[in-house]
Chain A
């Protein structure tokens, strides 16, 4: 069955540090990839998505992610985090020709200390 792995469950950074959150998936077909963010007390919001073209995708608030097909990865990055980036981040995979459902990873809690 398809699955999404987020290996970092909790990450603590200081402001201005660089961020990279890992995401790997286990499906060999065509995929669409997403990162969602959930700020404290709020619902999930789309941060960025990839479905074709340039494998380096830029999203809101300075986030970007790179799709590396050979590694089945879609890691999220930000060069310099801010306190307001404290949130939980979810990677998700959708297969338009396959399982037709969005499969989520277990999430990574990011705490940015001022």
Chain B
């Protein structure tokens, strides 16, 4: 079984709709992240959470919100989707007890906003 899972894998929605992307992990890691990937821009950090009670904005958090429901679950919401939020979204986890912050990625959610 995959250590980091994301649902849905693909989603097409309309402008103005609220949607939620979910991420679950079985690695027992305390840190979780949401990134978006756009061609030519690499991965950009949206939000990150160092534990259940610690949530922080990344470099492009506008238009997004998150919820850390449990150590293993971290959801990303688009309150009112717009077309420039069309992208590939990745969840990742890491273990703060390790020296180097190796991150483990989920399979991604391809989101299209029409």
- The interface centre, meaning the residue of A9, A90, A106 with most chain B CB atoms within 10 A of its CB, is A106
Known: A43-B106, A90-B43. A51 touches B99 (CB 8 A): yes
- Minimum CB–CB distance from A100 to chain B (whole Å) comes to 8
Question: Roughly how many angstroms separate A44 CA and B42 CA in the complex, as a whole number?
Answer: 11
Known: A32-B100, A49-B100, A51-B99. A104 touches B105 (CB 8 A): no
- Give chain A residues whose Cβ lies under 8 Å from the Cβ of B45: 101-102
A9, A96, A101: the one within 8 Å of B100 (CB): A96
- Give chain B residues whose Cβ lies under 8 Å from the Cβ of A36: 105
Q: Say if the beta carbon of A42 comes within 8 Å of chain B.
A: yes
Known: A32-B100, A90-B43, A96-B100. A101 touches B48 (CB 8 A): yes
Contact A106 B42 (CB under 8 A): yes
- Minimum CB–CB distance from A9 to chain B (whole Å) comes to 7
Interface SS, A side: loop
- Minimum CB–CB distance from B31 to chain A (whole Å) comes to 9
Q: Say if the beta carbon of B12 comes within 8 Å of chain A.
A: no
- Minimum CB–CB distance from A109 to chain B (whole Å) comes to 9
Contact A46 B102 (CB under 8 A): yes
1/0 contact trace for A94-106 toward B, CB 8 Å?
1010001110111
Taking Cβ atoms with an 8 Å cutoff, the residues of B that contact A are 33, 35, 40-45, 48, 58, 90, 92, 94, 99-108
Taking Cβ atoms with an 8 Å cutoff, the residues of A that contact B are 6, 9, 32, 34, 36, 42-46, 49, 51-52, 90, 94, 96, 100-102, 104-107
Sorted nearest first, the 10 A-B pairs with minimum C-beta distance are A106-B42, A51-B100, A32-B100, A94-B101, A44-B105, A104-B43, A43-B105, A104-B42, A43-B107, A107-B42
